Amino acid sequence: MKNLEEIIKEGESKTVEFKELFPPNIKIAKTIIAFANTAGGKLIIGVNDQSEIVGLEDIDIFEWQDRISSILYDSCYPNIMPEFYTSNISGKMVFVVEVSRGSLLPYYLKTKGKNEGTYIRIGATNRVASFDNIIDLERQRRNLSFDEEIDYDVDYESINYNFLKKEYREIGKEIDVEKLKNLKLLKEENNKIYPTKAFLILSGL
């Protein structure tokens, strides 16, 4: 496993961002949100854009920890709780904010809302997530594949699935709504039955 100095030498990336000094609140929030929505990461303060360790002097780790925690609590939803620590590299102190990929996706800025305030990490930059990105993050939170998603706009009774009925008859069985639900081709929600994307794909819709 790479140590922090080796990580710094490799430069900024999908999971690493440098700041020479304590960054503005909004930049901290965007970076931490992007890390939480993507693959986690480290915000390392005390390193410049050229991957040079400039170090920090006279910092109070507990004050910085409380300050960043307050920024994230006030700015981000759902709440993100990173780890904080310092590291002394060749006599120079850096401060690290490390966040894991979140499980309550998507994370976003409260002031902008989910549609405009969700950020993801693309390369070494933070980007506003597209609508498709947000849908994908929500699907990941529910541990659903695209095929398992419900399509609320199609009446399942209008779907022709004679091809499935034929396949089942050839093996001496019948297929009904309950079997379609077991196959995750139909799902019931609020006492109403809906087709999944998989059912529409199989039906050529």
Mean pLDDT of 18-23: 96
The predicted-structure confidence for 147-172, as pLDDT tens digits, reads as follows: 778 888 888 888 888 888 888 888 88
The predicted-structure confidence for 92-122, as pLDDT tens digits, reads as follows: 999 999 999 999 999 999 999 999 999 999 9
Q: How far is CA 127 from the centre of its chain?
A: 12
pTM across the whole model: 0.74
* Bridge partner list, 18: 44
Alpha-carbon distance of 84 to 97, in angstroms, equals 5
Distances (CA, A) of 107 to 28, 69, 135, 137: 14, 15, 12, 9
